[in-house]
Amino acid sequence: MPVKDFFGSDASRRHVLAVGHVVSDSARCVQCGICTYNCPIEIDVRAYAWRGESIKHSKCLTCGECVARCPRGVLRFAQTDLFKGGTP
């Protein structure tokens, strides 16, 4: 495996952590609340998922707990420009 690929996944992960957000797909969500329950800083992720919104909470760490634990693939990381030009 080329060295570049070896570090590629880690680099992209850190890139996402720095500039990305957690986005939701409301069509997949059944409001079970596993995301909210597992958020280390108690953001109500489920409420965002109901509205199909990104987790545009200024305190979100993009730690990935909710993404990893959602049993239905509702949440994922994506690069968004939410915070460009100030806080929404």
Partner 1 sequence: MKYVIVGSGVAGLAACEAIRSLDETGEICMLGDDPHGYYSRPGLAYYLTGEMHEKGLFPRTKKEWQSLNLRFIPGQATQIFPDEHELEVDGKTHLSYDRLLIAVGAQAVRLDVPGADQEGIVKLDHMEDARRILKLARRGKTAVVVGGGITALELVEGLRSRGVKVHYLLRGDRYWGNVLDEQESKIIEHRLQEDGVKLHHHAELIEVLGKRGRVQGVRLSDDRTLRCDILAYAIGIRPRVELAQEAGLAIDRGILANEFLQTSNPDIYVAGDVAQVYDPMSKRSIIDSLWGPAREQGHIAGLNMAGQQTAYIKAAPFNVTRLAGLTTTIIGTVGRGRDDDLVGIARGDSETWRALPDAIVAQTGFDVNRLRLLVGEKTLLGAIVMGDQKLSFPLEKNHFCERGYFPHSR
Positive or negative: CA dihedral 5, 64, 47, 55: negative
Q: Which tokens belong to 54?
A: 């990104």
Cα–Cα distance, 66 to 25 (Å, whole number): 13
The reply on whether position 83 binds partner 1 by CB under 8 A is no
**Residue 25 interacts with partner 1 (CB under 8 A): yes or no:** yes
Convert residues 33-72 into a mask of x (bound to partner 1 by CB under 8 A) and - (unbound): xx-xx--------xx--x------------------x-xx
* Whether the Cβ atoms of residue 74 and residue 25 lie closer than 8 Å to each other: yes
Contact footprint for partner 1 (CB under 8 A)? 25, 27-28, 30-34, 36-37, 46-47, 50, 69, 71-74, 76
